[in-house]
Every structure is written in C-alpha cells, then in structure tokens.
Amino acid sequence: MVQQPAGPLAGLLVADFSRILAGPYATMLLADLGAQVIKVESPGGDDTRTWMPPVRDGVSTYYLGINRNKRSIALDLKDPDDVAAARELARRADVMIENFRPGGLARFGLDYDAVAAGNEQIVYASISGFGTGAGANFPGYDLMVQAISGLMSLTGDPDGSPYRAGISVFDVMAGMHANIGILAALHRRQETGRGQHVEVNLLSSALSGLVNHSSGYVAGGTVPYRMGNAHPSLFPYEPLPTADGELIVIAGNDGQFRKLCQVLGLPELPDDPRFLRNQDRTANRAELRPILVERLSKRGKDEWFRDLLAAGVPCAPINTIDGGVALAEELGLDPVVTTGGIPGVRNPITFSDTPARYELPPPGLDEHGEEIRAWLRS
C-alpha cells in the first residue's frame, strides 16, 4: 500500500478545550489537515452529544459531524489532578483553543497569561459570543447573534416575521475566522519563536460576514431591509417560477442578462433602456420580472436549467440536502467520506501534495483518556 503523505499541519498538537460548534468545527478542520487534536471534555461530555435527533447508532449526528480525527479525554477541572493534567497538556501544545466565558479559565491557571508563562510558543485562541469587554457575560449562542447582528432582520418575507438562517452560520464563520487567526499566528511564530493570543467573537464575525449589508450601512448610511429572496443590488437574482416549480435565475452582469434573454427568446430585451444595465434592471424589477416569468412559464425547471446552464447563465434547482449531496457526487466532488465506519462530509479544502486525512472516527467520551494521561505523565 502506498503511504499517504502527512497532512500540511502534521506535527502540530492542538489542545481543544472548546465545545458545541464554533471551536469543535475549527479543530476538526485542523485535525483533517494533520494536526493531532486532543479534545478535552467535562465528565458530562460535549453538549452536542445530547443534541438529537437525528442519530446514528444512538449517537448524535450533530456531534459526529464536527468531531472526527480527535482523541477525547474527560477532565474534571474541580479535581486537582485533572487540572494538573490540563495544564501539562497546555504546556506541551502548539495551539490551545477554548470557548469558555471570558475569564472562566483563569481560576484553573488555564487562561492565556498563565499558559503562556510556561509555554511561550503557544498560539492560544479564544472564541466568545460578544468579546471580553462589556459583552463578556453575554451567553454566546448563534441565534442571539443572528438576532442582535441584524441578520434576522434581512431573512424572511418582506411582510412576514424575521427568520433565523437554517444553520448556525456565525458559529461556523467564527470557527473559520479562528482558524485563519491561528494559522497566521503560527506563521508569525516561525519568525519570532513566540505565540500569541488570538481572539474571535461571534458578533464581530457576524458583522464582517454580513459584507455588503454591513458595508451598505457603515459606508453608505443605508439600513437594509427584508426582501425575501430578492437581492438589493441585482436583478434577476432570485427564484423565478417555471411551468413546474421555481428555478434560481441569476444575471450577475450585462453579458449574463443578454445570454438569458437569448435562451428565453427575448433578444430585444437587453437593448430596452429600462433594462440596459444592472442598475436599470434593479430599479425596474417590477416591470422586468413579469416578462421573465411569462416566458419561463412555457417550460419546466429541469429543461430551463439544462439550457440556461449550457448557455453560461447561472441558475439552479432548489434542492433538499439529499439533492445537494447527489449533485456533488455526480460532479465528482466525492462529498462523503467514511472514518471508522462513520460517514461524514469531506473537508472542503483540496491540496495537491498533502491531502486531508480521515483516520479517527468521532471519539467516545474519554475514549483515549487512559492513553493521554499516561503520555502526560511520561
């Protein structure tokens, strides 16, 4: 058998003191890329172990989805011996990541200052909900941040209630921001020999991730509003009805709009002064939309999808998750990997020389505790 090359982060030891989503998602991505991740849990285990349904063989699929390639040790930080083990792990680690309430680890000697005093190379990443200032005592739940940041005010029908996004989008985003910070700090460490404290909070990640909407306010003074599936700056860029259901149709520039009109049999439309440029189409969407809908109603969504895509017009069926996975498989993206008999979603990053690894299934609580304790004593 040909041995696979080590992952790009091989040799890094990550002490994972995080739980729920943002931190565990971040550390799973690091583990996929070769880092050795030791997941430190309380004796009761990560909260997501109990977040079910759905389940696989009695285990929460929520937990399974963000914890592969890790080893688990359960430590009770009220126990002096376990605190000593936690400190020794932090002393040996290249990276420590935690999402305790700000200041919560100080009483155990596991805050950044205490850990860095014994390990000046540590890259110590903290994920909080609202930072370490006046928001330090706010619970860090994604749904709170979706509400407070303004995202929910943008999600849903214009005349309906605000809606949360279908996933914990800012937890995921904060986890990725944390990894960017960790990797940047590791790069800096190569020059200085010293680590540093990397801090990420969900609200800052949210405001950054709201991109054009937050920029529209801070740079343009415009408070965006709920528009359903419509886009404030582009048209068409939304689901449009066909003969048998809706199809996402996108004209991101004038050339795409011209191609769209050619396929629809409306070659004169792009030269209409009302629709000449994107800003014209956006301003006159109430006039343009019925013209497009009337023509799309002549055929079904699958036929339009095939012909529009062939012409270079961005469009998409509105799938359920199974349809999304099936299309990824059809496109050769191999979205599903199996780790120790547990199916999971492939790491989204592809490397030409050092591919992601899928070696360890999500661990049982304290599955590797005895082994890790023996190593920490050695």
Q: Are strands 13-17 and 315-317 parallel, antiparallel or unpaired?
A: unpaired
Catalytic member of 32, 46, 94, 171: 171
User: How far, CA to CA in Å, does 159 sit from each of 18, 156, 165, 226?
Assistant: 39, 8, 17, 8
> What is the residue-wise DSSP string for 164-195?
--SS-HHHHHHHHHHHHHHHHHHHHHHHHS--
Task: Please report the pLDDT score of residue 5 as a whole number.
Answer: 65
Task: Mark whether 79 is an active-site residue.
Answer: no
Task: Please report the pLDDT score of residue 2 as a whole number.
Answer: 38
By C-alpha distance, which of 107, 122, 135, 119 is closest to 182?
A: 122
**How many Cα atoms within 13 Å fall on the side-chain side of residue 146?**
19
* Contact (CB, 8 A) for 110 and 30: no
* Contact (CB, 8 A) for 140 and 204: no
Task: Please report the pLDDT score of residue 268 as a whole number.
Answer: 97
Residues 347, 57: Cα–Cα separation, whole Å = 23
CATH homologous superfamily of 237-326 = formyl-coa transferase, domain 3 (3.30.1540.10)
What does the block give as tokens for 12?
């890094």
CATH homologous superfamily of 13-211+335-377 = Crotonobetainyl-coa:carnitine coa-transferase; domain 1 (3.40.50.10540)
Q: Are strands 70-74 and 342-345 parallel, antiparallel or unpaired?
A: unpaired
Residues 319, 358: Cα–Cα separation, whole Å = 28
Residues 121, 115: Cα–Cα separation, whole Å = 10
**Dihedral of alpha carbons 186, 191, 197, 200, sign:** negative
Residues 121, 107: Cα–Cα separation, whole Å = 22
Task: Please report the pLDDT score of residue 6 as a whole number.
Answer: 85
322-347 as b/e: b if 16+ CB within 10 A: eeeeeeeeeeeeeeebebeebebeeb
DSSP one-letter code for 239: E
CA 191 to chain centre: 30
For the chain, give every domain's residue range: 13-211+335-377, 237-326
DSSP one-letter code for 1: -
> Three-state DSSP class for 151?
helix
pTM over 0.85: yes
Q: What is the pLDDT along the chain (378 residues), one digit of tens a residue?
A: 334 568 999 999 999 999 999 999 999 999 999 999 999 999 999 999 999 999 999 999 999 999 999 999 999 999 999 999 999 999 999 999 999 999 999 999 999 999 999 999 999 999 999 999 999 999 999 999 999 999 999 999 999 999 999 999 999 999 999 999 999 999 999 999 999 999 999 999 999 999 999 999 999 999 999 999 999 999 999 999 999 999 999 999 999 999 999 999 999 999 999 999 999 999 999 999 999 999 999 999 999 999 999 999 999 999 999 999 999 999 999 999 999 999 999 999 999 999 999 999 999 999 999 999 999 999
Residues 140, 179: Cα–Cα separation, whole Å = 18
